[in-house]
Amino acid sequence: MLWDTPVHCCTGVRNMAWVELVTLLALIQLLAFGVMVGRARGRYGIKAPAMVGHPVFERYSRIQTNTIETLVLLLPALWISARYWPPRSMALVGAVYLLGRMLYCRSYARDPAQRSLGYVLSGLPTLVLIVAALVGVVRSLLS
């Protein structure tokens, strides 16, 4: 039965648990940002479907939207790069993204002008993963 299968049964398959963990944490982080948007919507009286009306609400909304935009790039790059490079290393790069997003959220919510470090710490790992994935794919095609 499926539930009787040991977790570490996949002999010969690269351990993807760290990549899976980073993926799940990125999704949980996005859910948390969505909760923040909902709370700000209630706190500042922004009735759906409105997306503007109070600067703090708009900040949380932008944090969530920008995070969705970056996840569309991050997640495929993370998984593809982990196929060609050590998954634990690729997951570590993804973990930097998570920390960067957290910093981005905190700084953007306080003062959008201060979001740069968080943006770089989430954008740069995404770029690294995209390049690693591309190099891995190209090397595979050429071999």
pLDDT classification of 26: cutoffs 50, 70, 90: very high
pLDDT tens profile 111-140:
999 999 999 999 999 999 999 999 999 999
Fold adopted by 15-136? Four Helix Bundle (Hemerythrin (Met), subunit A) (1.20.120)
**Is the pLDDT at 109 greater than 80, yes or no?**
yes
Domain ranges of the chain: 15-136
Cβ–Cβ under 8 Å, residues 109 and 63: yes
Cβ neighbours, 10 Å, residue 10: 11
Taking the model in full, what pTM does it have?
0.89
pLDDT tens profile 36-62:
999 999 999 999 999 999 999 999 999
Cβ–Cβ under 8 Å, residues 13 and 51: no
Cβ–Cβ under 8 Å, residues 84 and 73: no
